[in-house]
Amino acid sequence: MKNELQEVNQFKYLQVGPEDGEPLMLLHGLFGALSNFEGIINHFQKDYNVLVPILPIFDLPIREVSVSALVEHVVEFVEYLKLDKVHVLGNSLGGHIALLYVLENPKKINSVILTGSSGLFESAFGTGFPQRGNYEFIKKKTEDTFYNKEVATKELVDEVFDIVSDRNKAIRVVKTAKSAVRHNLSDKLHQISAPTLLIWGTDDIVTPPIVAERFNELIEHSELHWVKECGHAPMMEHPQTFNNILSEFLKGLKPES
């Protein structure tokens, strides 16, 4: 990906597309990176102000590491760029952050897009200390994210391995995961009134299909779309299918001329 990150104040982010376009903010997961959203960025940057803030999971002081601190970072990011009526999309932990942000800032939201989101239940590395130094364990866990194991390239596995092999980063992974578990949203999702799109892999074993069905049940104005032969990251495994679903959803939100 040729797009370069900007670094201003405490923010590190990508911004592409027309700045006067509708903001489409993408929130990555615990081990996420820009590459996770490459297909979305390339497809939507023609028409939308696409923004990818890098969540400071590994930069916060250890005592401040929490889901709440990450939500506050998003709040400050949106305020810094003076964004209004944002389409917010989150994968995995990013979906969880998106939901918390939406619940706290309903007037700032145009729509919500969740894919493989945590917030109700997730089963990834768990809340225990990842097996540092065990490359094969990390490789299998990374592959388990996808239906097609080939999507878990060596480069991707190496990225995850480097994170959990760094003691300070591994501690932050565990603290963030534990904080996420404490922020179960089952009793709050009924408060979301923004149009919500759920795009879920039928073979997601991290946030299984029953999680998507529960989100669909609890969020009143939500629609659920399945992607077959797909795991926890549909935008990576089936980018064209994902983008087609998202495009139709966003078009449906525009007022008829």
Residue 196: pLDDT above 50?
Answer: yes
Question: Is residue 59 a contact partner of residue 41, using CB atoms and an 8 Å limit?
Answer: no
CB 216 within 8 A of CB 114: no
Is the pLDDT score of 123 beyond 70? Answer: no
Torsion, Cα of 193, 197, 203, 204 (10° steps): -50
Is 88 in contact with 63 (CB distance < 8 Å)? no
Note the pTM of the prediction, 2 decimals: 0.92
Q: Is the pLDDT of residue 213 over 90?
A: yes
pLDDT confidence tier of residue 181, bands split at 50, 70 and 90: confident
pLDDT tens per residue, range 138-150: 898 889 899 999 9
The residues facing 112 across adjacent strands are 88, 196
Q: How big is the CA angle at 202 (ends 48 and 88), to the nearest 5 degrees?
A: 25
| pLDDT of 1 | 47
Give the least confident one: 7-11, 120-124, 155-159.
Answer: 120-124
Could you report the per-residue pLDDT of 84-114, keeping only the tens digit for each?
999 999 999 999 999 999 999 999 999 999 9
DSSP states of 141-202 as a string? Answer: HHHTT-SSGGGS-HHHHHHHHHHHHSHHHHHHHHHHHHHHHH---TTTGGG--S-EEEEEET
Does the pLDDT value for residue 218 go beyond 60? Answer: yes
- pLDDT at position 127 over 50: no
Model confidence at 63: pLDDT above 60: yes
CA distance 216 to 210: 10
Q: Going by DSSP bridges, is the β-strand pair 86-91/109-115 parallel, antiparallel, or unpaired? A: parallel
pLDDT (mean) for 215-235: 97
Q: Where are the domains of the chain?
A: 6-120+184-253
Helices 167-182 and 93-104: crossing angle, nearest 10°? 50
Angle at 167 between CA 91 and CA 36, to 5 degrees: 20
163, pLDDT greater than 50: yes
Residue among 230, 232, 222, 216 nearest 31 (CA): 232
pLDDT at 257 exceeding the cut of 60: no
Distance CA 212, CA 217 (A): 9
Strand order across the beta sheet in which 86-91 lies: 6-8, 11-16, 48-53, 22-27, 86-91, 109-115, 196-201, 222-227
Lowest-pLDDT range of 9-13, 72-76, 170-174, 243-247: 170-174
Looking at the DSSP bridge assignments, the partners of residue 102 are none
Of 189, 169, 206, 214, the C-alpha closest to 93 is: 206
pLDDT value of position 131: 59
Q: Say which DSSP state 197 is in.
A: E
Spatial CB neighbours of 98, under 8 Å, sequence gap ≥ 6: 27, 88, 89, 90, 112, 114, 117
Residue bearing the bigger pLDDT, 216 or 165: 216
The superfamily CATH assigns to domain 6-120+184-253 is Alpha/Beta hydrolase fold, catalytic domain (3.40.50.1820)
